[in-house]
Amino acid sequence: MQPKIDEHIMREIQMREALREAMQEEMRRDETVFLMGEEVAQYNGAYKVSQGMLDEFGAKRVIDTPIAELGFAGIGVGAAMNGLRPIIEFMTFNFSLVAIDQVVNAAAKMLSMSGGQFGVPIVFRGPSGSAGTLGAQHSQVFESWYAQVPGLKVVSPSNPYDAKGLLKTAIRDQDPVIFMESEQMYGDKGEVPEGEYLIPIGKADVKRSGTDVTLVSYNKMMKVVLETARLLEAEGISAEVIDLRSIRPLDHQTIIDSVRKTNRLVVVDESWPFASISSEIAFRVQRDAFDDLDAPVLRVNGADVPMPYALPLVQAYLPSVEKVMRAVKEVMYLAKP
């Protein structure tokens, strides 16, 4: 049973602090939990998420690794199969491509291939998506890649409160969880209660109620969506905003219920448009709520090209408030396609 949260004891902390608290609390609660990755120990984490954890838990439970993602991901999978609960930090999910064989062919498939004899309770966490002018090889969005794989759960929080509650749940989960963060959000602040709490994986959050159009997104694109909703309100358009939080399993019903109320949907997804999260959502809504739609589902994605380096091109590549506003007005028939 989830402990009761004292809502009066709230603090404003950074995303990195919320993630750190989640790991610390779970490591104090369960001695089988440990953290492993590049620079997580002596350097206190590349983004200072694990600051102070080496001092508290020691080098056997906060482990620095070589630059060898395939190797330490494999060690984590083996440890999870033998009763431990590893947290494997990728400095960026771009580097997880080196380890993808262990994530997809070992962690995701082991329970099925072993006939239920070996579970893999492991969390792979780190930042995904663009973090500014880092070029094409360090700016990719991987939620849709991993969400396609049966056996993996995929989580992508947009704020400190959700990040802590979801990470604690992910660490306790019996299945491998891909926990996608954002380099650009580690310093973001938000209210987080002092008491322990868990947020279930697979449940979206309606961040804002509305009646005219549904906006769906996740991770840092939620900032774009919420700002768009604020500006739309000034123009007399009421937008309902849904934060997916969990990509797989996807809370399909919350989206459908919203579309049946607003009759319009715009999905904002930083990833490339082809075979994206937005593609899956658009298909499901047009399959299950077609008669409720007053306009086609529209998507606002990253550009279908490798991420450029120059800042003006990065800004042109990414979804923006202006692009989302235009899509909303198109489904409202206030602007031409």
Q: 150 is written with which tokens?
A: 């049966």
Question: Which listed residue (21, 38, 138, 240) is catalytic?
Answer: 138
C-beta separation of 327 from 266 below 8 A: yes
Question: Which listed residue (69, 181, 183, 240) is catalytic?
Answer: 69
Output phi, psi for 57, to 5 deg: -105, -15
Instruction: Say whether 123 sits in a helix, a strand or coil.
Output: strand
Beta bridge partners of 205: 243
- Judge whether 138 counts as a catalytic residue: yes
- Judge whether 69 counts as a catalytic residue: yes
**DSSP structural state of residue 98:** G
Beta bridge partners of 242: 206, 216
Taking the CB of residue 53, how many other CB atoms lie within 10 A of it?
20
**What is the distance between the alpha carbons of residues 21 and 23, in angstroms, rounded to a whole number?**
5
C-beta separation of 212 from 238 below 8 A: yes
Q: 108 is written with which tokens?
A: 């995701």
C-beta separation of 42 from 34 below 8 A: no
Instruction: Say whether 58 sits in a helix, a strand or coil.
Output: coil
To which residue do tokens 């589902």 refer?
Answer: 297
C-beta separation of 36 from 72 below 8 A: yes
Summary count for the chain: helices (H), strands (E): 12, 14
Residue 215 to residues 23, 277, 279, 329, 331: CA-CA distances in angstroms? Answer: 32, 14, 14, 12, 11
Residue 21 to residues 15, 29, 117, 187: CA-CA distances in angstroms? Answer: 10, 12, 32, 15
Q: 114 is written with which tokens?
A: 């072993």
**Residues with active-site annotation:** 69, 138
